[in-house]
Chains A and B, each alone.
Chain A
Amino acid sequence: MPVVEVSHLSKHFVRNAGLLQAGTLVKAVDDVSFTIDAGETFGLVGESGSGKTTTGRCVLRLIEPTSGSVRFRGEDVLGFSRRRMREVRREMQIVFQDPYSSLNPRMRARQIVEEPLVIHRLGNSTERKTRVAELFELVGLDTAHLSRYPHEFSGGQRQRIGLARALALNPTFLVLDEPVSALDVSVQAQVINLLVDLQQKFTLTYLFIAHDLRLVEHICTRVAVMYLGKIVEMGPTASLFATPQHPYTRALLSAIPVPDPDAPRERIVLDASLINRNAALREIAAGHFAAI
């Protein structure tokens, strides 16, 4: 059974509504469905405005979806009471993109990592202290730095703090929203390796939201490509990268800058007229769907 089942998820926003002006309806997420299996890394890719971040937040109910359903281990997340939701959040956590703005600058690193334990009333202060030190070591931070403030850490270390905090409650499912895109190139690989190690160690399930397709190809088992709020193509990573079917996927993959001066550069420019916005996803190879 899949860990996460998203079906017909939509999130609409009203933009520019004023006193005398009706707003325009923006379908940020438009009828999106996918499932994520246990221990899998499911990639959600797309450009800014494609709805990938909104989808991730709707799955955790950090944003209330307009319609559709999200099931976590078979249970309907959107039907949960506040109290039940709070319990379930122990299982589902998120790591944000920007380790500079997502950590409270006035809290010490140990307080940041401890906070979820305090909120969920887990353990006494001695137990929490042990747990925080354990988490620090788990993500490769030096326990001598527990009392430091976020600004005293580098970007990569800050992202490790964010990860330690997300792992504090022993979640099984993590939404990783662009977890390395704010980091220096030479540090990204460290954090990616750490994510892979942690996943193996604790059998974590990841929803990996990213725009860096090289990274997605590297760590995801399956990928969904979003374009203007819809999933236009979805399938096993190898199949999708080798034989992209949707015009948008083709254009996107051909635009990846390859770090090889001799790589052939045949860029496919997106011809929007080739896209049928009403096409439904259909299976074109085993597990590989495209809206064509």
Chain B
Amino acid sequence: MTDRAPLLSVECLTTVFEAPSGSVPAVDDVSFEIHHGETLGLVGESGSGKSVTALSIMRLVQPPGRISAGRIRFKGRDLLELSERDMHRVRGTDIALIFQEPMTALNPVFTIGDQLRETLLVHGRATRSDVQAQTVALLEAVRIPDAASRIRDYPHQLSGGMRQRVLIAMGLACHPSLVIADEPTTALDVTIQAEILDLLREKKALLGLSLLLITHDLGVIAGTADRVAVMYGGRIVEAGPVRDVFRRPQHPYTRGLLASMPGGSPGQRLRAIEGSVPRPGALPPGCAFNPRCPDRFDLCTSAPPADYRVGEDHTAKCFLHDNATTPDSRTPSTADARR
């Protein structure tokens, strides 16, 4: 780990959604750091809070959602204390967000050239006279063939992969120091996904960016991220260097996810995790994973576990790592695990 202060440090972030029944935390006491030039993979399933984390960093959570606690330090400033006007300047110029669905993130009634020109002009990155050349250069930088004529295309005229490239071009237009990519390849075919990931890796190295890569695919994380944080039920349940987490997963959820993936021995039964992903607002008491956990014991339903250090820069929120309990002192919980 570097001695320099992290580029982004999220501290005890809690984002809640107000429902008639009360506030439902979608992101619950989440903390992580991203250092200069680092890629952090944020992995989780639907409803785990990973996208809300991204929106919270950008302060784009819409009502009834709101950030209820925490600090988001970016380049020494707390983003949550900025005025809306200052925050507006941070978005796009300092932090760019690349969305999952390139078709909905682009405006269908303007050409991609119009949309890129607007980005450049709004942020003062180009003048009227050189905006055309800069737009073409941006598209060329994300390897869109025949960029000069492509700028006249509307989003629907491009393939999914090309649209995602346009969004990346837009994200990079203002030279941000942090790019947040929320499932940037989920809607794409596997060969196009590989091209987009290559492009992100290349741009990251070339421009010295930091990247927060949000995905549900552990395969994407393994090949792209330096560190990984695993989210479940709105909390980060395990975080550490990618190699360490994949080689020695310390939270039963991470272990289960890795073990359930096909790829070992064809024809054999997969090692499935029982039960289903809890919905926000309907989390079980204690550790959110406890109803599905094969290692559950009495403590797990009592209170949410804290972070336990399980290795160099590697933490897991699991009472198995609590030195106060020894394997003998744990009473296996007997309730039905398949809730």
Chain A's closest residue to B253 (CB) is A186
Choose, from A14-22, A130-138, A163-171, A253-261, the stretch at the interface. A253-261
Q: Does A154 contact B (CB under 8 A)?
A: yes
Among B202-218, those with CB < 8 Å from A are: 216-218
Are B45 and A184 within 8 A (Cβ)?
yes
A62 interface contact, C-beta 8 A: no
Stretch at the interface among A28-36, A69-77, A116-124, A188-196: A188-196
Q: Which residue of B lies closest to A48 (CB)?
A: B189
Residue B148, interface by CB 8 Å: no
What's the tally of chain B residues with a CB closer than 8 Å to chain A? 43
Closest to A216 in B: B262
A186 with B45: CB separation less than 8 A: yes
**B193 contacts the other chain (CB 8 A):** yes
Bound CA–CA A218/B269 (angstroms): 9
| Least CB distance, B200 to chain A, in whole angstroms | 13
B324 at the interface (CB under 8 A from A): no
Candidates A193, A237, A238, A263; contact of B270 at CB < 8 Å: A193
* Across-interface contacts of A270 in B (CB, < 8 A): 191
A157 touching B276, Cβ below 8 Å: yes
- CB of A47, distance to nearest CB on chain B (Å): 4
A251 to B222, CA, bound (A): 19
Chain B interface, DSSP helix/strand/loop, else mixed: helix
Which residues on B sit within 8 Å (CB–CB) of A192? 262, 270, 272
Given contact pairs A47-B189, A189-B271, A189-B272, A256 touches B219 in the complex (Cβ within 8 A): yes
Q: Is A277 an interface residue (CB 8 A)?
A: no
Q: Determine, out of A82-90, A107-115, A207-215, the stretch whose residues face the partner at the interface.
A: A207-215
**Quick check: B263 and A193 within 8 Å, CB to CB?**
no
* Pairwise interchain contact A257-B256, C-beta atoms closer than 8 A: no
Contact B190 A186 (CB under 8 A): no
CA distance A213 to B247 in the complex (A): 23
- Closest Cβ neighbor of A140 among chain B residues: B338
**Does B261 lie within 8 Å of A186, measured CB to CB?**
no
Contact B191 A217 (CB under 8 A): no
In the complex, the answer to whether A258 meets B246 with C-beta atoms within 8 Å is no
* Interface residue ranges of B258-290 to A (CB < 8 Å): 258, 260-263, 266-267, 269-274, 276-277
A279 at the interface (CB under 8 A from B): no
Tell whether A257 pairs with B263 under 8 Å between CB atoms, given A184-B277, A186-B273, A192-B270.
Answer: no
Instruction: Evaluate whether A259 and B272 lie within 8 angstroms (CB atoms) in the complex, with A184-B277, A186-B45 already known.
Output: no
CB-CB under 8 A for A218 and B189, given A154-B277, A185-B216, A258-B223? no
- Alpha-carbon gap, A258 to B223, bound state (A): 7
CA A265 – CA B274 in complex, angstroms?
A: 32
- Minimal Cβ-Cβ distance residue in B for A213: B190
Residue of A nearest to B217 (CB): A257
| B270 close to A259 (CB less than 8 A) | no
Residues on B with C-beta less than 8 A from A219 are: 262, 266-267
Q: Which chain A residues lie closer than 8 Å to B325 at the CB level?
A: none
Pair B219/A258 contact, Cβ less than 8 Å? yes
Of B189, B242, B274, the contact of A211 (CB 8 Å cutoff): B189
Whole-angstrom distance between the alpha carbons of A259 and B246 in the complex? 8
Chain B residues, Cβ within 8 Å of A269: 195
Residues of chain B within 8 A (CB-CB) of A188 are 260
Partner among A47, A189, A259, A267 whose Cβ is within 8 Å of the Cβ of B218: A259
Nearest CB on B from A39, distance (A): 13
A255 touching B193 by the CB < 8 A rule? yes
Residue numbers in B under 8 Å from A238 (CB-CB): 266
Contact at A211–B246, with CB atoms within 8 Å?
Answer: no
Output the least CB separation between B188 and chain A (Å): 9
CB distance from A220 to the nearest CB of B (A): 8
A-B contact list, 28 entries, CB within 8 Å: A47-B192, A48-B160, A155-B46, A185-B216, A185-B217, A185-B218, A186-B256, A186-B260, A187-B272, A189-B261, A192-B270, A193-B272, A196-B269, A214-B219, A214-B261, A214-B263, A217-B266, A219-B262, A219-B266, A237-B266, A255-B191, A257-B219, A257-B222, A258-B219, A260-B222, A261-B242, A261-B247, A263-B222
Name A's B-contacting residues (CB within 8 A): 47-48, 154-157, 184-190, 192-193, 196, 211, 213-215, 217-219, 237-238, 251-252, 254-263, 265, 267, 269-270
B residues within 8 Å of A by Cβ? 45-46, 160, 189-195, 197-198, 216-223, 242-243, 246-247, 253, 256-258, 260-263, 266-267, 269-274, 276-277, 292
Q: Can you name 17 extra interface pairs (CB under 8 A) apart from A214-B262, A255-B191, A259-B261? A: A47-B189, A155-B46, A184-B46, A184-B276, A185-B217, A187-B273, A189-B262, A189-B272, A193-B270, A217-B266, A218-B263, A255-B194, A257-B220, A258-B219, A258-B263, A261-B247, A270-B191
Of all A-B residue pairs in the complex, the 3 with the closest CB atoms, nearest first, are: A257-B219, A218-B262, A189-B272
